[in-house]
Amino acid sequence: MKIIDLLAQDKPTLSFEVFPPKTSDTYDAVAGATQAIAALRPDFMSVTYGAGGGTSDYTVGIASGIREQYGVEVLAHLTCASSTREHVAHVLEQLKARGIENVLALRGDIPEGGALAHDYHYAAELVRDIKARGDFCVGGACYPEGHPDSPTKNADMDHLKEKMEAGCQFFTTQMFFDNNILYNFLYRIREKGITVPVVAGIMPVTNGKQIARICKLSGTYLPERFKAIVDKFGDNPSAMRQAGIAYAAGQIIDLIANGVNHIHVYSMNKPDIAALLQESLSEVLK
């Protein structure tokens, strides 16, 4: 099923994101964790793509395992900054062969000092290629706080519109911890004529120290309410886990109450966290 058809239904959706292994020796452990998440039967699952593209077979393998064994629809990520057109065509053929029809088209981070293939510069070019190579449903990334490389939020939104015009049928957001940032972003992109569905990306934070570092790097705003939780519980893993899941659940409840129906959880290969969060939303998601 195409994700755009799932998003067109008049009901909330909950999806989970997982990542593939970096090396073959951890493949089975990662496949086990991702399948335990699939057993929760989310509306769909997305499988990220390793920076550089060297592990693209793992993305395809993990995604097809989820789809074939659990019947859960999958969204395979694909990045282009470090890829040739030839490699992209190869991955798309693999996806087609495994019946995967949803792709999240990304530029990928520019590797520090790493080799750029120079076939692609921006995700919009990848979107056009994917659309030309098959009947795929294509999504893209968006950044409620602006992409870190972009000089202004306005310029970033103009490029987002170009991505939609290239064929992106929905966008998934970068994580955010203050829903007002998302509401403001939605208002501004709708004003610009960006009409496709936006899936809100939510990160349940279970490691306080890690998130402070990630947010510093990505420029994600941490509200005082959230900082207080990390200050109080950051050194107590079980309390931080409980508080992080409750904070994410609170964000999701507020989003759904305000008409943002599609929620993507950065579940980070943690079936226990995905299960606790899903359980805490069981009535809200009906």
Alpha-carbon separation of residue 115 from 9, 82, 120, 161, 200 (angstroms):
42, 7, 12, 28, 32
Q: What's the CA gap between 164 and 103, in Å, rounded?
A: 14
Q: Are 247 and 226 in contact (CB under 8 A)?
A: yes
Q: State the Cα–Cα distance between residues 65 and 178, nearest whole angstrom.
A: 35
Q: Which of residues 197-236 bind ligand FAD (CB under 6 A)?
A: 201
Q: Is 123 among the residues that bind ligand FAD (CB under 6 A)?
A: yes
Among positions 34, 174, 220, 278, the unique one binding ligand FAD when judged by CB under 6 A: 174
**How far, in Å, CA of 123 to CA of 130, rounded?**
11
106 is a contact residue toward ligand FAD (CB under 6 A): yes
Q: What span, in angstroms and rounded, lies between the C-alpha atoms of 36 and 231?
A: 32
Write down the least CB distance from residue 163 to ligand FAD, Å.
Answer: 6
Q: Is 98 or 242 the residue whose CB approaches ligand FAD more closely?
A: 98
β-strand partners of 13? 262
CB 263 within 8 A of CB 12: yes
17 is catalytic: yes
Q: Which residue has the tokens 């949803």?
A: 102
Out of 35, 84, 94, 150, name the contact with ligand FAD by CB under 6 A: 150
Task: CB nearer to ligand FAD: give 154 or 236.
Answer: 154
Q: Is 286 exposed, middle or buried (0-12, 13-18, 19+ CB in 10 A)?
A: exposed
**Smallest separation, CB 175 to ligand FAD (Å):** 8
Of 59 and 278, which has the nearer Cβ to ligand FAD?
Answer: 59
Q: Are 152 and 146 in contact (CB under 8 A)?
A: yes
Candidate list 90, 159, 188, 227; residue touching ligand FAD; CB under 6 A: 159
* Cα 273 from Cα 265, distance rounded (Å): 10
Q: Is 83 one of the binding residues for ligand FAD (CB under 6 A)?
A: no
Identify the active-site residue in 17, 73, 101, 125.
17
64 binds ligand FAD (CB under 6 A): no
Measured from the CB atom, the residue of 75 and 229 that comes closer to ligand FAD is 75
Which positions lie near ligand FAD, rule CB under 6 A? 48-49, 51, 77, 79, 106-109, 122-124, 140-141, 147, 149-150, 155-156, 159, 163, 172, 174, 201
Please list the active-site residues: 17
